[in-house]
Structure 1
Amino acid sequence: MKDLLDAFWRASAYCLHPRVMLLTLAPLLIAAALALGLGWLYWESAVDGVREVLDRWSLTAAMLGWLDAMGGQSLRSVISPLLVVSLAVPVLVVVSLLLVSVLATPALTAMVAQRRFPALERRHGAGFWHSAAWSVGCSLLALLALALSVPLWLVPPLVLVLPPLIWGWLTYQMVAFDVLSDHATREERRRILREQRWALLAMGVVSGYLGAAPSLLWAFGAAVLILAPVLVVASVWLYTLVFVFSSLWFAHFSLAALQRLRAQEAALAGGAAPPGGEIIEMPAPASTLQLPREPQA
């Protein structure tokens, strides 16, 4: 817990660094341009498609008819746009996380390593394409789990637990892998992910709850649809900032764990390791030193 909190405060302080703020611009511009472009091209067709699907379902048709009978015609007109937004937000989260993972996490990890762990050896356990394939695979699994869990969201407690837990697992798998891919070997990475899995999962869940905070911008009903272009950019920036903070948090925690692991391995091998992980040979114990022989008479 001490190491986790120490990494948390260090990551919070790093977020105020001008270089970190600049690293949020590239994912922000790409994700915002993609969201606004797709919205400009497909917003009306998506809303019409959702409206047709709702009209075909007997259950939703009966509910919409009940709303009309109760004088809720205005609510009927905003249900489809709100559903489109609700379906687009998870995709926006995954896109933001992927962009931060590809564009910002390597630079943030290098920044943390240079400033805090300058002597930590880079052993290049995974390349760019391996990391990209891992990120895409985990993202697809998270989206599948999210889609399968949608019916459970109707149970009030679960809607507050399942989505952050899925986002937390995704953040933990992607960011921890990317942080350790350049400095740790394959065996070191697997051992850290196995031994620190509960701490890393807790960090991922906290990041998942922080990542769910921008979605509250869309929770004010139909009024937010008027400001949708502005809210899309604001949401993407908040998602990017949260995932940048998560990358820094995982970088501080995982690189510190890697440094301790190498120090322990060096100690077991009969040496002592300085903070950077380099081994310094220690003199043999006095009990093992051979005494000079006395001359024979």
Structure 2
Amino acid sequence: MSDIIDALLGAAKSLFHPKILAIVLWPVVFALLLWGALAWLFWADWLSVLNGWVQPAELWLDQYNFAWMASMLSVTLLVLLITPLALTTALLVAAVIAMPMMVRHVAQRDFPTLEYKHGGTVLGSILNALIAVVVYIGLWLITLPFWFAAGLGAVFSLLLTAYLNQRLFRYDALADHASREEFDMILEQSGGSLYGMGLILAFLHFIPVINLFSPIYTGLAYIHFGLNKLQKLREMQK
């Protein structure tokens, strides 16, 4: 747990450096503009498709004088679909575009003696991101019917976002510095901590205003955690 706290504190310190502040809003602004434009263009079409899917449920609700609820069902489902897609987009931008610059920044300031072994590749980063997104969206669609049960929606949302956080950022955090063997060792030794930190950070994605900074902050936290673990691993092997 102390390693997670150290990473979160280190990320908070790095977040307020001018270089990081200059990019901190890019992922969220891009995601909002993208999905806002798509919603404006295709809202009616998407709603029409969802109306066809939920029509049996709407008819059933209408029988019991819940017509108001039936009319809101498609809109609610559409919002539930767009929200994780917008979050995924923001995290992807942070992971794919911003991470290389953030890794260099943190390494130079906090881990200047850490040797580069370049165990990761650009192709590996892209493949890792694709796997993370496909699994996340797949699990999200599978669990969607349970989101209307009391409290389960929030639980599933946090657990799935925790998965997305750790899967997206752990590779890029270590790609430049760790060898493939070192990456596997850190993943084996700290898999639970990586997911636990992802769960803590997942809460930030759903807090207004704070979520504007959370994609970049999440990336910084995984960089601090990963490089700190790598440094300790190499010290133990000496």
If the length of structure 1 is used for normalisation, what is the TM-score? 0.74
What residue is the counterpart of 2:60 in the other structure?
62
Question: CA shift at 1:77, angstroms?
Answer: 4.3
1:94 maps onto 2:120 in alignment: no
Question: CA shift at 1:246, angstroms?
Answer: 1.0
Question: CA shift at 1:180, angstroms?
Answer: 0.5
Closer, same or farther in 2 for the Cα pair 1:204/1:40, shift >3 Å? same
Question: CA shift at 1:150, angstroms?
Answer: 1.9
What residue is the counterpart of 1:48 in the other structure?
48
Larger RCO (CA within 8 A; separation ≥ 6): 2
Do the aligned partners of 2:119 and 2:177 also contact (CA within 8 Å) in 1? yes
Matched residue count: 238
Closer, same or farther in 2 for the Cα pair 1:64/1:239, shift >3 Å? farther
- Tell me how far apart the structure 1 counterparts of residues 162 and 136 of structure 2 sit (CA, whole Å): 10
- 1:108 corresponds, among 97, 102, 105, to 102
Cα deviations by residue, 1:93-147 (Å, 9 ceiling, x for unpaired): 1111111101112211111101011111111111112111111111101111111
Cα deviations by residue, 1:157-193 (Å, 9 ceiling, x for unpaired): 4333222111111211211111001110100011001
Q: How does 1:214-233 map to 2 (within 5 A)?
A: 214=208
- Residue type of the alignment partner of 1:181: A
- 1:203 corresponds, among 177, 197, 201, to 197
Closer, same or farther in 2 for the Cα pair 1:154/1:54, shift >3 Å? closer
Do the aligned partners of 2:27 and 2:93 also contact (CA within 8 Å) in 1? yes
Q: Which structure's residues are more often helix, by fraction?
A: 2
1:246 maps onto 2:218 in alignment: yes
What residue is the counterpart of 1:83 in the other structure?
77
Query: Does 249-258 or 145-154 show the bigger shift?
Result: 145-154
Indicate the SS of the match to 2:116.
coil
- Residue type of the alignment partner of 1:42: F
What residue is the counterpart of 1:18 in the other structure?
18
Do the aligned partners of 2:54 and 2:73 also contact (CA within 8 Å) in 1? no
Name the % identity: 28
Indicate the SS of the match to 1:213.
coil
If the length of structure 2 is used for normalisation, what is the TM-score? 0.91
Do the aligned partners of 1:123 and 1:182 also contact (CA within 8 Å) in 2? yes
Indicate the SS of the match to 2:22.
helix
- Residue type of the alignment partner of 2:220: L
Indicate the SS of the match to 1:199.
helix
What residue is the counterpart of 1:32 in the other structure?
32
Structure 2: gaps of 5 or more residues = none
**CA-atom RMSD in angstroms:** 2.0
Kindly name which structure, 1 or 2, has the bigger radius of gyration based on alpha carbons.
1
1:260 maps onto 2:228 in alignment: no
Do the aligned partners of 1:192 and 1:258 also contact (CA within 8 Å) in 2? yes
